[in-house]
């Protein structure tokens, strides 16, 4: 009869092996196995399978029995996530039983699937639901970084504190309700990091199988995947560098930005052409046809043009129709340019620049940089291989030592004062910014990612018999919107910049510096010109001029005597 069952499996397309060497406790693809419990070595095989947790979700097992060998599997590790079927051969009849236990400390549960004969073999019906763990007690652990500020997993007094724990705990609570079990957990202060192939904290408890699961989500890191199993991703915790983009006037000369280069060229060309036309009109004037009421020079025309550009008056009064038309059209153009220029300057004074667009820009900027004081930041910086991240760490963070790591309140406070960037978990940073910043201060904020944090997931012990159920329930919670509700409750959105409340910003010396420099240069030039005019009209100037004239005359007479 057993041979007939194996022959039937082969006919169905299964590859049948008679060697234990082909058994893989974690097969890459879903596979099946057949074990005869009446064999002499079946007990040792079951014990080995229990130690290795071979009877898991990846392999379906068919155990052959004649009704007298069920004691062999009484201590086997066959939890709700396993797929084990017993084919009990009673004469010409085969009774198929589904078997599992809700806990390693509870007896096996047998459920009759079907009674058949080998000749009438048909596909077995679906297994009964295993979503009732019958009130078993599972052990877990949660991690709190700030226990002195923690007021409960459902407390809203400080929603930004230990948000990872507060977002993961409701998922575990739903697991209890969906699967009918009791979760007893302890509080730790360390998620667990690997040292000499041994984990500390929560990961260490899971590695030693002292607990069944983590009550909260932890990062799905490559070094952890080989030690524990994860039940699907839950949430993503983002850590971003938040900073203020400097004012546009701090990095650019805003007095040349209102117009494009071509517009500036056209303005200069228009001014030059106007001067040429006016000088041509002056040069062709004669008799009663004088261009202006008084005689003018080139410097007077230049002064008139500059006065029109700056919306200032002039003492020169044009007499000819051509001169009046030239000055009117030029003044009208200057009015349009001046209006557009003034309006654009007001907008530029309130604008921020996009100076910092990459980590390299931050590294080479005068901004100070701080990092939120959580252990994973130190771990990730130590593991970073990106050249830009390493350069940022070496130039900006490492020289500060422990002072580079700040608590979020202190870091956001320094960020608000300006010329400082702070890397913080955004749910915490956004909460502080929303509570403390004015509307106009929010509009200047920008953010940048240093490294991508892994997603969070509820961990269980490696090859746990409960992982499949937790994974399905986690997926169901996400599909029905429970994850979205948790996210809206504990993860605040980015503060919105309300431009209507910005108002006008005050203008400082930095904004006014280019205009101030023009005034300083102009004053210096006018003082130099003033002293030059004094010198040209002084007696010393005329004396030097007379002496130079006498020297030229003597030189002329000497040259004449030499010729003679």
| pLDDT tens digits, one per residue of 448-474 | 888 888 899 999 999 999 999 999 999
What are the counts of helices (DSSP H) followed by strands (DSSP E) for the chain? 19, 18
- Residue 309 neighbours by CB under 8 Å, 6+ apart: 271, 334, 338
Which residues are 60's β-sheet partners?
A: 32, 83
The pair of three-digit structure tokens given for residue 72, joined into one six-digit string: 């062999």
pLDDT at 562: 45
Which residues are 352's β-sheet partners?
A: 247
Per-residue pLDDT tens listing for the chain (564 residues): 455 555 555 454 455 555 666 666 666 667 778 888 888 888 888 898 888 888 888 888 888 888 778 888 989 999 998 989 888 888 778 888 999 999 999 999 999 988 887 666 667 778 888 999 999 999 999 999 888 888 888 888 888 888 889 999 999 999 999 999 999 999 998 999 888 889 999 999 999 999 999 999 999 998 898 899 999 889 888 889 998 877 776 667 778 888 888 999 999 999 999 989 888 888 887 656 677 767 778 888 888 888 888 888 777 878 788 888 888 898 899 888 888 888 888 777 777 667 778 888 888 888 889 999 988 888 888 888 889 999 999 999 999 988 999 999 999 999 888 788 999 998 888 888 888 888 777 877 888 888 888 899 999 999 999 999 999 999 999 999 999 999 988 888 888 877 654 555 666 676 677 778 888 888 898 898 888 877 777 655 556 555 555 555 455 444 444 444
The pair of three-digit structure tokens given for residue 315, joined into one six-digit string: 């003492």
Helices within 404-538 (DSSP H only): 408-417, 426-436, 439-442, 467-480, 482-490, 509-536
Residues, the chain, total?
Answer: 564
The pair of three-digit structure tokens given for residue 303, joined into one six-digit string: 């002064």
Range 45-53, long-range pairs (CB < 8 A, 24+ positions): 45/20, 46/72, 46/73, 46/76, 47/75, 49/25, 49/76, 49/77, 50/75, 50/76, 50/77, 52/25, 52/463, 53/25, 53/77, 53/462, 53/463, 53/464, 53/465
Specify the residue for token string 């041509």: 280
The pair of three-digit structure tokens given for residue 210, joined into one six-digit string: 């002292």
Residue of 462, 427, 452 lying closest to 214 (CA atoms): 462
Which residues are 82's β-sheet partners?
A: none
- Residue 203 neighbours by CB under 8 Å, 6+ apart: 191, 192, 193, 194, 218, 224, 227, 228, 459
pLDDT at 436: 87
Query: What does the alpha-carbon distance between residue 257 and residue 86 come to, in Å, rounded to a whole number?
Result: 82
Q: Enter the pTM of the model.
A: 0.73
The pair of three-digit structure tokens given for residue 262, joined into one six-digit string: 């071509």
Count CB neighbours of 331 within 10 A.
15
Specify the residue for token string 């499996």: 9
pLDDT at 176: 94
pLDDT at 208: 93
Residues 517, 518, 524, 527: is their CA dihedral positive or negative? negative
The pair of three-digit structure tokens given for residue 249, joined into one six-digit string: 């006037």
The pair of three-digit structure tokens given for residue 451, joined into one six-digit string: 């490294």
- Residue 385 neighbours by CB under 8 Å, 6+ apart: none
Residue of 104, 99, 18 lying closest to 61 (CA atoms): 99
Q: What are phi and psi of 148, to 5 degrees?
A: -70, -20
Residue of 74, 112, 110 lying closest to 95 (CA atoms): 112
Buried/exposed 302-321: b ≥16 CB within 10 Å, e otherwise: ebbbebbbeeeebebebebe
Which DSSP category does 123 fall into? P
Specify the residue for token string 């930005």: 257
């Amino acid at each position: 009869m057993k041979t007939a069952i194996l022959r039937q499996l082969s006919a169905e397309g299964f590859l049948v092996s008679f060697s234990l060497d082909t058994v893989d406790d974690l097969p890459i693809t879903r596979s099946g196995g057949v074990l005869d419990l009446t064999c002499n070595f079946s007990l040792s095989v079951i014990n080995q399978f229990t130690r290795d947790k071979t009877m898991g979700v990846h392999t379906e097992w068919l155990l052959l029995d004649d009704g007298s060998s069920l004691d062999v599997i009484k201590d086997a590790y066959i939890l709700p996530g396993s797929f084990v079927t017993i084919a009990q051969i009673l004469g010409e009849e085969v009774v198929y039983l589904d078997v599992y236990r809700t806990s390693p400390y509870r007896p096996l549960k047998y459920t009759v699937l079907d009674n058949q004969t080998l000749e009438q073999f048909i596909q077995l019906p679906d297994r009964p639901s295993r979503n009732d763990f019958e009130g078993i007690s599972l052990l877990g652990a949660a991690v709190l970084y700030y226990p002195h500020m923690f007021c409960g997993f459902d407390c809203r007094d400080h929603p930004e504190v230990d948000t990872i724990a507060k977002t993961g705990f409701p998922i575990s609570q739903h697991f209890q309700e969906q699967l009918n079990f009791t979760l007893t957990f302890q509080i730790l202060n360390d998620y667990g990091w690997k040292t000499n192939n041994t984990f500390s904290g929560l990961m260490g408890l899971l590695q030693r199988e002292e607990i069944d699961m983590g009550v909260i989500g932890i990062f799905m890191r490559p070094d952890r995947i080989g030690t524990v199993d994860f039940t699907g991703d839950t949430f993503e915790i983002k850590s971003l560098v938040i900073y203020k983009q400097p004012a546009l006037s701090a990095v650019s000369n805003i007095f040349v930005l209102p117009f494009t280069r071509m517009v500036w060229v056209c303005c200069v060309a228009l001014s030059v052409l106007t001067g040429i036309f006016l000088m041509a009109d002056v040069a062709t004037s004669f008799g009663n046809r004088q261009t202006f009421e008084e005689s003018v020079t080139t410097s007077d025309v230049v002064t008139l043009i500059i006065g029109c550009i700056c919306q200032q008056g002039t003492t020169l009064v044009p007499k000819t129709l051509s001169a009046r038309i030239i000055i009117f059209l030029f003044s009208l153009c200057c009015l349009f340019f001046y209006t557009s220029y003034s309006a654009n300057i007001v907008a530029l004074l309130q604008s921020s620049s996009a100076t910092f667009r990459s980590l390299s820009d931050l590294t080479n900027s005068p901004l100070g940089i701080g990092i939120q004081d959580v252990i994973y930041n130190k771990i990730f910086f130590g593991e970073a291989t990106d050249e830009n991240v390493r350069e940022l760490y070496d130039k900006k963070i490492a020289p500060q030592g422990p002072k580079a790591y700040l608590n979020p309140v202190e870091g956001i406070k320094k960020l608000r004062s300006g010329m400082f960037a702070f890397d913080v978990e955004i749910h915490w940073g956004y909460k502080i910014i929303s509570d403390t910043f004015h509307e106009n201060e929010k509009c200047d904020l920008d953010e940048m990612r240093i490294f991508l944090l892994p997603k969070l997931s509820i961990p269980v012990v490696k090859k746990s018999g409960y992982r499949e159920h937790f994974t399905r329930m986690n997926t169901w919670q996400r599909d029905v919107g429970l994850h979205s509700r948790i996210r809206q409750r504990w993860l605040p959105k980015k503060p919105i910049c309300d431009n209507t409340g910005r108002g006008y910003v005050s203008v400082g010396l930095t904004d006014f510096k280019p205009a101030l420099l023009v005034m300083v240069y102009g004053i210096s030039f006018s003082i130099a010109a003033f002293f030059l005019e004094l010198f040209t009209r002084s007696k010393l100037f005329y004396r030097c001029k007379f002496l130079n004239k006498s020297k030229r005359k003597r030189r002329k007479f000497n040259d004449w005597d030499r010729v003679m």
